[in-house]
Amino acid sequence: MLANIMKYKKVSPLKYSMEESRILLIYRYLSLLITSTFYMLNHSEHSLMRRIFIIVCLTISSVVLSYLYLKNEKSKQNIKILILIETVGNSILLIPSGGVNSPFVWYTLNTILISSVFLTKLYCWFNLLIYILSSTVLVYFVFDEELSNTRLLIQESNLILSLVMIVAAIQAWSMYLKKVKRKNEILKDMNCQLQSANQMIVESIDHIKSLYQSVNILTNKGNEDGLIKLLCEYTKEITKSSIIFYYDISEDEYRIIADKENDHLIKLVKESLAMNLNNIIDIKIPKELSISDTKFVMMPVRTNYKIYGILGCQVANTKDDIKYGNNMHQIQFLSELMSITFERLYLEEVNSRLLISEEQNRIANEIHDGVLQRLFCLSCGIFALMRNMDEYSTYDIREELDFVRNTIDDVMKELRNKIYGLSWKKSGTNSFVADIKSYIEETKRLNDVVIPFSIIGNDELLTCDEKKALYRMICEGIGNAVRHGKAKNIDVNLNIDSNGTVLSIVDDGIGFDVNEVKENNSNGLGIKNLYHLSESLGGETKIDSRPGKGTKIEIIIPNHINSMRVEEAII
């Protein structure tokens, strides 16, 4: 029994009822109490049993109807039926309790209030008319009073006028209430949209931070295809759009980059872009284009001197939707970001070529100014020795040849110094290893963690881009272990050989469910960056983690050996 009561309480309609229904419920029980009290005290002409019977019947019907009204407050049809039943019941009750002089006349205002809140004005006035007729004409008809209808209405005109004015006031209150309710619903809807927009902004900021970090690596790497793929991936996450495309027109042969799930639609998009290309590449704000009943917004990716392509995404069909407006701003921002990224990529390539050219000029100038002059002098000395061979003794010739050999050794050393003038081996400082150790020491000091670091192999087998990426990976791995994993011990091992490089980061943190993270596509910024960095170098990332068991990250990267760095080739 107790369980049934608890179950009833759990699904009680009052808990989930509208505010108006609660106000009406309060008025119903308050009016029932007051009118019953007045009826019990002032109608002594009625027998006590009669008065008790009427009050008990009214109380039971009030409780039952209150529950039914709350249960069916969203169904106008059911409300009409309940009002009809209660109106008939109240009309019957008015007859034995005194008709128009009954205090329960004021209790009947409950149905008028309910009609004004949930139904139209017509039902409200029709309800009042029924009560007036039942409390006057029917009462006098039942009790055989000798009064004409006209005289009867005149006699009770003050009460009828009071009821009419009260109903008019109820109507005004109801209209105001409905107006406030509509505005409240609009405000609630706007609040929900603002909350949604705020959440989207927060997520967009997180994605943009991650995008900036990943773009920084890929621009340094010079991987244009990987950069486009990355930008499209983050555009999809930021805009929450199901279809993202990038129409590349930077080369002679145009191509479209998009998910393969919508091949037919993407093909139509490509055809439409080819037809409207001249109109799209000059726009300053995102342009909407409808293709096969699907709306897209697109924006050219361009600078003042070059057009790279067109970025687009699917949008909501309704312009009033807040997501539509967000997508318009997002696609404009992302297209500008892409143009800046491509321009930076181009400048990085130009900078690399200039650095190579500058290094070539430096080596050429230094060889010309030093090594070449000494070789010329050496050539002249050998020529003089050959011409005066007959005049020199064997000892003198040996002395001259020893001098020539020593001079050649000096020239070779000087030449090697010119070529490898910036080599860390000459200065005794390895900045790659030093930077890693410096980061680890700072992290240990600030976070009170133990981080042993070991490196096996020759880091000269790594290219400059590989060193940059590995440094970033170590920073990301340690940072994730400290911030998210709450780790106190982190082992970092770097193994380098001619075949490849293996980076291992193992911590004793809280760990996480790798499968759940992959299924929910909820990779953090650090994990995403690890994957992007390793993929940009043609490597792979393996993550092994379980809640409460710590995390192990293993990154394998193939090495691209630069034979020019092997100084032993020059003896």
Residue 374: how many CA atoms within 13 Å on its side-chain side? 18
pLDDT of residue 565: 45
Please, are residues 268 and 292 in contact by the beta-carbon 8 Å criterion?
yes
Strand partners, 489: 450
Per-residue pLDDT, 339? 86
CATH number of 427-569: 3.30.565.10
**CA distances for 510 relative to 262, 483, 527, 531, angstroms:** 40, 11, 16, 21
Say what the pLDDT of residue 571 is: 36
What is the C-alpha separation between 407 and 379, in angstroms, rounded? 11
Task: Tell me which amino acid residue 53 is.
Answer: F
Q: Say if CB 306 and CB 284 are below 8 A apart.
A: no
Structure tokens, 221:
């790497």
Of 44, 25, 166, 21, the C-alpha closest to 106 is: 166
The answer to whether the CB of 104 falls within 8 A of the CB of 86 is no
Chain length of the chain? 571
Cα–Cα distance measured from residue 452 to residue 429, given in angstroms and rounded to the nearest whole number:
21
Output 45-52 pairs: Cβ under 8 A, ≥24 positions apart: 46/97, 46/98, 50/96
Q: What is the DSSP string of 371-408?
A: IHHHHHHHHHHHHHHHHTGGGS-HHHHHHHHHHHHHHH
Q: pLDDT for 144-156, tens place per residue?
A: 455 455 565 566 6
pLDDT of 16 reads 43
Q: Is the pTM of this model over 0.85?
A: no
Query: Sign of the CA dihedral 190, 195, 196, 200?
Result: positive
What's the confidence (pLDDT) of residue 85?
A: 81
What pLDDT was estimated at residue 145?
52
Residue 100's CB is within 10 A of a number of other CB atoms, namely 20
Nearest one of 566, 564, 524 to 543, comparing CA atoms: 524
Residue 36 CB: number of other CB atoms within 10 A? 21
The reported pLDDT for the residue numbered 525 is: 54
One of 3.40.50.620, 3.40.50.280, 3.30.450.40, 3.60.21.10 is the CATH number of 202-351, namely: 3.30.450.40
Q: Which residues pair with 503 in a beta bridge?
A: 494, 555
3-state secondary structure of 312: strand
Q: Which residues of the chain have pLDDT under 50?
A: 1-17, 144, 147, 422-429, 562-571
SS3 444: helix
458: tokens are 């020759």
Q: Max CA-CA distance within the chain?
A: 170
The 8-class DSSP code of residue 450 comes to: B
Q: Which pLDDT belongs to residue 466?
A: 84
CA neighbours closer than 13 Å in the CB half-sphere of residue 324 = 10
Amino acid identity of 442?
A: E
Exposed, middle or buried: residue 4 (CB in 10 Å: 0-12, 13-18, 19+)? exposed
Closest CA to 433 of 489, 494, 479, 490: 494
**Residue-level pLDDT at 99:** 63
Torsion angle defined by CA atoms of residues 268, 269, 275 and 276, in that order, rounded to the nearest 10 degrees: 150
CA dist 242 to 148, 246, 272, 274, 285, Å?
77, 14, 19, 22, 22
User: For 369, which DSSP code?
Assistant: I
pLDDT in tens, 501-540: 999 999 999 988 887 776 665 555 567 778 877 887 888 8
The Cα 306–Cα 345 span in angstroms is: 13
Q: Where are the domains of the chain?
A: 17-155, 202-351, 352-420, 427-569
Both structure tokens of 478: 């340690």
Query: Amino acid identity, residue 356?
Result: I
pLDDT at position 568 is 40
